Amino acid sequence: MFTGLIEHLGTVSSIKHDEGGCTLVIAKAGPILGDCNTGDSIAVNGACLTVTAFEKEKEDGWFTVWLANETLDRTDLGERKVGDQVNLERAMGAHVRFGGHFVQAHVDTTATILSREPDGDSLRITFQLPEPTPARPSLLPYIIPKGYIAIDGTSLTITGVDDARRTFSVMLITHTQEKITLPQKAIGAKVNIEVDMVGKYVYKSVQAALGGESGEGVKGLIERAVEDILAKKGIK
């Protein structure tokens, strides 16, 4: 479990691809490796990855992670290049304050940066989700104004949503702009998206309660209720 509060920016120092996936080495990561152990989870641009090796001193501290093909397909990490910076967050400790929102670091999809507009000292950024498919349904039911979303692992508040265009916007204050990689990304670049997990559970629970699992939906529930009332009154 993570909070979406980025702790540090690391730098990709090595990329090795093979048929099974990809190995990334993240350097300049020393500040988050003080309590690191092999097998620990670190969110890299919002994707929960397992540390397979690390060194606290060389290259200002580095660690290695393995990305399966599923991860490469689901995230933007397959597009990272040597020298790119990435957002880093260690798994949340039970003894720390919870300052963001519940982030699993299980990326749902990627979105594309559509626009970036200054708003005083802040920055307003708009993103577009891909068209839904049977394998990857729309995430728009879980994206609401003033709701939470994790973008490249950063917990942010949604400022606007346009369902028809499949777009949503966020606002970055100056402090946030200085702590994450998002302001460095160009228009047209991809970002990793994880919608609020609580919203997913609520949506599925309500859908099941309304008969969504059986496919009858609200209409079917009403029809059955009317049939029951008519049967009790002896009306066919």
106 contacts: CB under 8 Å, gap ≥ 6: 47, 48, 194
Q: What kind of fold does domain 109-198 have according to CATH?
A: Elongation Factor Tu (Ef-tu); domain 3 (2.40.30)
Torsion angle in degrees (nearest 10) through CA of 43, 48, 51, 56: 0
- Residue 4 φ then ψ, to 5°: 85, 10
Question: For strand 8-18 and strand 85-90, is the pairing parallel, antiparallel, or unpaired?
Answer: antiparallel
- The catalytic residue positions are 2, 41, 48, 50, 68, 106, 157
Where do we find the tokens 């090795």?
16
Q: What is the pLDDT of residue 148?
A: 93
Q: What is the pLDDT of residue 236?
A: 65
**Cβ count within 10 A of residue 88:** 22
Q: How far apart are CA 107 and CA 48, in angstroms?
A: 8
- What pTM value is reported for the model? 0.87
Q: What is the pLDDT of residue 218?
A: 66
Q: What is the pLDDT of residue 58?
A: 85
Residue 224, helix vs strand vs coil: helix
List the chain residues with pLDDT less than 70.
94-95, 211-218, 236
Task: Encode pLDDT of 25-40 as tens digits.
Answer: 999 999 999 999 999 9
Task: Encode pLDDT of 102-147 as tens digits.
Answer: 899 999 999 999 999 999 999 999 999 999 999 999 999 999 999 9
- The residues that bridge with 158 in the sheet, in sequence order, are 170
Eight-state DSSP code of residue 133: -
Question: For strand 85-90 and strand 148-151, is the pairing parallel, antiparallel, or unpaired?
Answer: unpaired
Q: Is 210 in contact with 127 (CB distance < 8 Å)?
A: no
Which of these CATH numbers, 2.40.30.20, 3.60.110.10, 1.10.10.10, 2.60.40.1080, describes 8-90? 2.40.30.20
Q: How far apart are CA 144 and CA 154, in angstroms?
A: 17
